Amino acid sequence: MIRVRSALVSVMALVLAAAFVAAAQGQATEGARRGSGRGLSRGSLLSLIRLEQVQKELKLSAEQVAKVKKVSEDLTAQMREQYTPLREIEDREKRRAKMTELTDQFDRKAREQLRDVLAREQMSRLYQIRTQVRAVVESLGNTYVAGKLNLTEEQKKKVAQINKDMLAKRSQMFSGMRNASQEQRAEATQKLRKVRSDADKEALAVLTAEQSKAFQKMQGEKIELEMQRGRR
C-alpha cells in the first residue's frame, strides 16, 4: 500500500470517494467552496491526476497535463455549485444519501472526461494507483471492483457494514477536532490510521484466497507517493 504523509490523513473527503463522504460531511461543502481541488478526497481520480508525481508516472504529455487541468477546474466548479446546498439538509441520513449520490455522479463524470484525455494504458495505471491509495474497505465497496472480484451479496453486506462502522468512528473523532490543539490533532491522526488499518484487515478477511490475489493484482506495481496537503 502507498504510504501517505500524516498531514494528508486529516484532510476531509469531499467527493469521488464514497466511503469518506459520511466522515467528512461537516466540512465537505467547505472543501468545495475552496474550488482549487484541495477539498478532494485523496483517493479520487481528480486528486491523483493533479499530482505531478502521478502525471510523471503516467508519462503525460504537456498537452495532456493542460487538458487534465481544464477537466479538474470545470468539475471542481460544478462540485462547488452542487455541494453547497447540502448544508441546508438537516437530516443526517438524507444528507449522506445525497452526498453519496453526487459522489457517484462526479466519479462517472471524471472517468468519462479523463478517458477522452488519457490513453487506455494511462487510465488503467491511474485506476491501479487509486486502488492502492484508497482504504481497502472503500475499494471493495466500489461497484466496479466488487464486480471484478465477483463479490457475493453476503460479502457486499459485510463490506458495507465494516465501512459504516469505520465511518461512524471517524465521524465521532472529527466532531471534536474543531478547537483541538496540534498535539491533539497528531494523536487523532494516529488513531485515524488505526481505524483505517483495522477496517482494511477486516475487509480483506471477507475475501477468498482467489479474490485476495485478484485484488492485489488490481493494484498493479507499487508506487510510493508523497501527497502533500494543499499541493497544487
Question: Mind listing the pLDDT tens digit for each residue in 90-116?
Answer: 887 788 778 778 877 888 899 999 999
What mean pLDDT is reported for the chain? Answer: 79
Q: Quickly state the pLDDT bin for 10 (edges 50, 70, 90).
A: very low
Give the tens place of pLDDT for each residue, 129-176: 999 998 899 899 888 899 999 999 999 999 999 998 998 888 887 776
DSSP 3: -
pTM (whole model) above 0.75: no
**Lowest mean pLDDT segment, chosen from 2-6, 136-140, 189-193:** 2-6
pLDDT value, residue 76:
86
Transcribe the chain into DSSP letters.
-----HHHHTPPP-SS-HHHHTTTTTTHHHHHHH-SSTTS-TTSHHHHHTSHHHHHHTT--HHHHHHHHHHHHHHHHHHHHHHGGGGG---HHHHHHHHHHHHHHHHHHHHHHHHTTS-HHHHHHHHHHHHHHS-HHHHHTSHHHHHHTT--HHHHHHHHHHHHHHHHHHHHHHHT-TT--HHHHHHHHHHHHHHHHHHHHHHHTTS-HHHHHHHHHHT-S-------TT--
Nearest CA-CA partner of 19 in 45, 44, 54: 44
